[in-house]
Amino acid sequence: MQILTFIGFTALVAIISYLATRKTSESTSDGYFLGGRSLTAGVIAGSLLLTNLSTEQIVGLNGSSYSSGLSVMVWETLAAIAMIVTAVYLLPKYLKGGLTTIPGFLEKRFDVSTKTLTSVLFLTGYVVVLLPIILYSGSLAVSGMFDIPELLGVSQTQSIWICVWGIGIIGSIYAVFGGLKAVAVSDSINAIGLLIGGLLIPIFGLLLIGDGNLFNGLDILVSENPEKFKSMGGATDPVPFYTIFTGMMLVQLFYWGTNQQIIQRALGAKDLKEGQKGLLLASFIKILGPIIVVLPGLIAFHLFEGNLETADSAYPLLVKKVLPKEWLGFFAAVLFGAILSSFNSVLNSSVTLFGIDVYKQHINKTADEKTVVKYGKIFGIILALAAMCIAPLIANAGSLFDYLQEINGIYSIPILTIIVVGFTTKKVPAIAAKIGLISGCLLYIISQFILQPYFVNSALENATSEGIKSAVDLALIKAQAYPHFLDIMAILFVLNILIMLVIGKLKPRKKPYIQEYTKQVDITPWKYVKQVGLLITIIVIAVYAYFA
């Protein structure tokens, strides 16, 4: 019955997506890559949320909250502020220039080689890190939920291979052959299902704690675990509170404002009003995100009395414990949709970047739009196959969430730096952008993969002679030995901006950059965008103040 429910809901999403996209022309760049610039607020919001929300986040953040408490909600709540900044400041500039890709702006602002270098950085991050991790973590969830090894009589390793290729093939069909609109429509349907299913887990969990009374369950959870309900993380937590004012906001701005995988949804808006409303709707819903990706971890800590072997097993074990069997097929289908969404969204963005910024620019400059789309699809298939081959080889998927945030800093902060400088200055030249990209990547790699291990290992060696009494002592020693990776991001962000500004002063552009309005979409802003943005910001601050 569970499998029939799973297949039925998944098929329903596919049929609706087909019917909604069959009249959209996929032979043009706008049609394939941006859904014909026809996306409305609801579709944009749903696609943004589900693209962001996948198994590595649901499992990883709940695992972090199981270990560290409520403070990890910063990954969700601060995203709301970043989306407001994007809606008010960045999106009007993107749509004014008729952009299809973020690197496309860098070509106009700096030069072609800057655009190509940025596209290659994006693609490298997607291919080497993001796509395989999404596939692997998703496969672990699906395999565990349906107990695939027992169902098919295979080993755990064989089960992972089967799930990886199943998810990869279905995701590729959506992303490569359907284009952005197919991805966005399926995302919107799955987003509704994920919100329903995701909310059911903490509801059933609290009902179990409160013997059938939801509010009693919440009172018991808070009163018996007060140390877990503090919004401000300490020095040994994954995200110390002060990092909100250093690198955390930069990470959020990059992700929600400049990351091709995410912002492509807003670039496909039918006009600026719809794009802004979509971003703000997603921003408001994001405030509720901790209910799905943080609260279940706290419930699991209470129910399992903190005795689980690994923190990242908290969410799957909680689902098995509290969710009625008749709901399992539906929730598995929704979770499967979340996995597909992240995979096909990254893949679709990779196809876009390759087709427009690499193939058209450097391989076949005379190619018409149909040819660009064709070879973009071929590249997407190759990319998907490579990710499917790499994914099962990944180990320690349970600890990948924090690792992902740190490793993404290699390319996220350098790219954010040149975009910020590009929008806020008029005379900084292309050579400054290239130096900013290269120096940003190299300095971050040196910091996190050479200097950090050296200082941490030295501190641990000195501490071992004195004796480490607890895991808290160990975490404190590591925290004191070297700055948090979010602090390093903030330092390098400022340093790279200074480098670029100095170059701009010494060797400015001959002609100041002026952005032209392409008139591809109406860029009249939504009249309530600032008021709604301010209201959401006040709500975020109030949440932090309440749990401080």
How many CA within 13 A on the CB side of residue 331? 23
Q: Taking all residues of the chain, what is their mean pLDDT, rounded to a whole number?
A: 82
The answer on pLDDT for 543 being more than 80 is yes
pLDDT for residue 32: 45
Name the least confident of 115-119, 360-364, 390-394: 390-394
CA dist 81 and 72 (Å) reads 16
> Got the DSSP string for 61-98?
HHHHHHHH-GGGGHHHHHHHHHHHHIIIIIHHHHHHTT
Q: Are 341 and 262 in contact (CB under 8 A)?
A: no
Rounded alpha-carbon distances, angstroms, from residue 283 to 138, 262, 276, 288, 531: 25, 13, 10, 9, 14
Choose between 188 and 170: higher pLDDT: 170
Name the least confident of 172-181, 247-256, 304-313, 452-461: 172-181
pLDDT for residue 197: 80
The answer on pLDDT for 356 being more than 50 is yes
pLDDT for residue 44: 85
pLDDT for residue 378: 84
Dihedral sign from CA coordinates of 3, 5, 6, 12: positive
Q: For residue 317, is it left (φ>0), alpha (ψ between -120 and 50) or beta?
A: alpha
Q: Are 387 and 380 in contact (CB under 8 A)?
A: no
Position 12 confidence tier, pLDDT thresholds 50, 70, 90: low
Any domain includes 196: yes
Any domain includes 422: no
Mean pLDDT, to the nearest integer, of 12-29? 57
Tokens (6 digits) for 260: 């091709």
The rounded percent of the chain whose pLDDT value lies above 70 is 84
Tell me the pLDDT tens digit for each residue of 470-489: 556 666 777 787 898 999 99
Show the CA angle centred on residue 446, arms to residues 383 and 454, nearest 5°: 120
pLDDT for residue 139: 81
Position 301 confidence tier, pLDDT thresholds 50, 70, 90: very high
Instruction: Reduce the DSSP state of residue 269 to 3 states and report it.
Output: strand
Contacts within 8 Å (CB) and 24+ apart, 451-457? 451/482, 452/482, 452/485, 455/481, 455/482, 456/481, 456/482
pLDDT for residue 155: 84
CA dist 524 and 276 (Å) reads 10
Any idea what the CATH number is for the domain that residue 379 is in? Answer: 1.20.1730.10
Any domain includes 16: no
Q: Which residue has the tokens 């020693």?
A: 477
> Got the DSSP string for 287-298?
HTHHHHHTHHHH
Choose between 134 and 144: higher pLDDT: 134
Mean pLDDT, to the nearest integer, of 432-444? 93
Any domain includes 202: yes
Mean pLDDT, to the nearest integer, of 366-393? 82
Q: What is the Cα gyration radius of the chain?
A: 23
Task: Specify the pTM.
Answer: 0.81
Position 498 confidence tier, pLDDT thresholds 50, 70, 90: very high
Which amino acid does the sequence have at 180?
A: L
Tokens (6 digits) for 147: 């107990």
pLDDT for residue 397: 46
Task: Provide the number of structural domains found in the chain.
Answer: 1
Q: Are 428 and 501 in contact (CB under 8 A)?
A: yes
Burial of 395 (0-12, 13-18, 19+ CB in 10 A): exposed
Any domain includes 458: no
Tokens (6 digits) for 268: 């496909």
**Domain of residue 536, residue span:** 2-7+28-407+526-547
Dihedral sign from CA coordinates of 485, 486, 487, 490: positive
Q: Are 165 and 388 in contact (CB under 8 A)?
A: yes
